[in-house]
């Protein structure tokens, strides 16, 4: 058996691989993707089975611990997460410092990074118990921070967590209830929200997860690392695509405008957002589940005839028959239908990537823990291919003309 790590350590090989299309940066036991077959497994379990049979907190436990929880383990985990949902009272002032029209992703990046200023007691990354507490704090506090960013942007008072509700129900209540109001969340929306969280929970070494690992490889604390991941996720080629995909559907507006739009994509004036993936070259298994969720949410909210949904379905049908997309193996990704679903639930587009960040936090923290607990872990330090000037002598300012 060849020990691949030994082989690499001994080798002087130097690879130039922009965008890391064929370089593995780590070993991992968390998530498996077969892009050609459209397979996504978390700890061996297919994503469609998790989305239809597990809930988000069970999925979190699975990602963090490697196995599905027993009933007793689940109960303990749920109660631990519930205990950590509140934010420090000082956070009120922190939020007040942002402009009301700040993008909620800007607030998320700042607020999550600031958690390291509030929770000094769980910053020792070499202590397994502290790593565990940080993981719980992050998973528990993300919905509270996300809901708070939302309420702040719409100018409404914050609704505190209600801990006898499920993770998804509690989050939807914090977003859409008004304080002191009796507010009951539609169970169909709770299930859809939970499923959306599961679909986004982890996706191996994507850009934001690699960012979290790279930041963590220097020994930075977990809150700072997750803030780095959130910043990376914000980009339109990554998590920001869900916002862009819905804006695109709105811009197209009606099915009749699709041919004109497709012509623009082929002329490379713009991309078809929510299409294409670095790894999936057959289909994105998450997109199928997301499309089903879109149907369910539109039915639950009485928007079955939503014109954007008609545009999306027609656009998908046209693209899947068009040689340009077929040759390049471009298929809908998870973001194509998520915008329509979240919009029907009442979220503005600026919240879409925030919800992605909330759900991906467990993946980021599971990957961060796995890296810290790997005895072979080293600081991440890519090399470069230098193409600049060769050595030359300094010319003083007075002689440079």
Q: Which residues bind ligand ACO (CB under 6 A)?
A: 237-239, 241, 265, 271-278, 328, 330, 333-335
Under 8 Å between Cβ of 365 and 64: yes
| Residue 330, C-beta contacts closer than 8 angstroms, at least 6 positions apart | 272, 275, 276, 319, 324
Minimum distance from CB of 337 to ligand ACO (Å)?
12
Q: Give dist(CA 139, CA 134) in Å, integer.
A: 9
Minimum distance from CB of 169 to ligand ACO (Å)?
25
Minimum distance from CB of 249 to ligand ACO (Å)?
13
Under 8 Å between Cβ of 301 and 344: yes
Helix axis angle for 241-252 and 307-321, nearest 10°, is 100
216 vs 239, beta carbon nearer ligand ACO? 239
Minimum distance from CB of 113 to ligand ACO (Å)?
22
Under 8 Å between Cβ of 130 and 124: yes
Q: Give dist(CA 198, CA 192) in Å, integer.
A: 10
30 vs 334, beta carbon nearer ligand ACO? 334
**Is position 12 annotated as part of the catalytic site?**
no
241 vs 362, beta carbon nearer ligand ACO? 241
**Is position 335 annotated as part of the catalytic site?**
yes
* SS3 of residue 332 by DSSP: strand
Residue 261: count other Cβ atoms within 10 Å of its Cβ.
19
106 vs 279, beta carbon nearer ligand ACO? 279
Q: Give dist(CA 379, CA 123) in Å, integer.
A: 18
225 vs 334, beta carbon nearer ligand ACO? 334
Query: Looking at 170-256, which runs of residues are DSSP E strands?
Result: none
**What residues does 34 pair with on adjacent strands?**
39
Residue 100: count other Cβ atoms within 10 Å of its Cβ.
8
Q: How would you class 348 by CB atoms within 10 Å of its CB: exposed for 0-12, middle for 13-18, buried for 19 or more?
A: middle
Minimum distance from CB of 202 to ligand ACO (Å)?
11
Query: Two tokens at 274?
Result: 């929510």
33 vs 174, beta carbon nearer ligand ACO? 33
Nearest to 298 by CA among 285, 283, 286, 313: 313
161 vs 276, beta carbon nearer ligand ACO? 276
Minimum distance from CB of 209 to ligand ACO (Å)?
11
Ranges of H-type helices in 24-124:
47-53, 56-65, 71-83, 91-96, 104-118
Angle at 167 between CA 166 and CA 168, to 5 degrees: 95
Candidates 103, 194, 277, 306; catalytic one = 277
CA distances from 181 to 37, 173, 174, 178, 184 (A): 48, 10, 11, 6, 10
Question: Which residue number is nearest to ligand ACO in terms of Cβ?
Answer: 276
Candidates 194, 202, 306, 335; catalytic one = 335
Q: Give dist(CA 51, CA 76) in Å, integer.
A: 22
**What residues does 202 pair with on adjacent strands?**
none
Helix axis angle for 71-83 and 56-65, nearest 10°, is 100
Minimum distance from CB of 51 to ligand ACO (Å)?
15
Minimum distance from CB of 350 to ligand ACO (Å)?
17
Q: Which residues are the active-site residues?
A: 277, 335
């Amino acid at each position: 058996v060849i020990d691949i790590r030994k082989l690499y350590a001994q080798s002087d090989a130097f690879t130039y691989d922009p965008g890391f299309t064929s370089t593995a940066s780590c070993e991992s036991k968390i998530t498996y993707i077969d892009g050609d077959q459209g397979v996504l497994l978390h700890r061996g379990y297919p994503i469609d089975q998790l989305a239809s049979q597990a809930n988000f907190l069970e999925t979190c436990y699975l990602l963090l611990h490697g196995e599905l929880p027993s009933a007793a383990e689940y109960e303990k985990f749920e109660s631990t997460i519930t205990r950590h949902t509140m934010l420090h009272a000082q956070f009120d002032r922190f939020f007040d410092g942002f402009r009301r029209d700040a993008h909620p992703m800007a607030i998320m990046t700042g607020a999550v990074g600031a958690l390291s200023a509030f929770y000094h007691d769980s910053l020792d990354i070499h202590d397994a118990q502290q790593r565990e507490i940080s993981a719980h704090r992050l998973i528990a506090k993300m919905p509270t921070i996300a809901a708070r960013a939302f309420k702040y942007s719409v100018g409404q008072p914050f609704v505190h967590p209600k801990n006898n509700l499920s993770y998804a129900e509690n989050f939807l209540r914090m977003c859409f209830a008004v304080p002191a109001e009796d507010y009951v969340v539609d169970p169909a929306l709770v299930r859809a929200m939970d499923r959306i969280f599961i679909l986004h929970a982890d996706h191996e070494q994507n850009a934001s997860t690699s960012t979290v690992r790279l930041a963590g490889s220097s020994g930075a604390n977990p809150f700072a690392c997750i803030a780095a991941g959130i910043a990376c996720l914000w980009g339109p080629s990554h998590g920001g695509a869900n916002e862009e995909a819905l804006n695109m559907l709105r811009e197209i507006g009606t099915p009749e405008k699709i041919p004109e739009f497709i012509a623009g994509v082929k002329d490379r004036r713009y991309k078809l957002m929510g299409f294409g993936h670095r790894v999936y070259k057959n289909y994105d298994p998450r997109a199928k589940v997301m499309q089903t969720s879109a149907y369910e949410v539109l039915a639950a909210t009485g928007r079955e005839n939503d014109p954007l949904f008609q545009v999306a379905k027609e656009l998908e049908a046209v693209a899947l028959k068009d040689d340009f997309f077929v040759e390049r193996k471009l298929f809908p990704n998870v973001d194509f239908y998520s915008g329509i679903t979240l919009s029907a639930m009442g979220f503005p587009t600026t919240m879409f990537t925030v919800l992605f960040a909330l759900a991906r936090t467990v993946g980021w923290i599971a990957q961060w823990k796995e890296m810290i607990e790997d005895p072979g872990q080293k600081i991440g330090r890519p090399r470069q291919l230098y193409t600049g000037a060769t050595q030359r002598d300094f010319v003083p300012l007075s002689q440079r003309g």
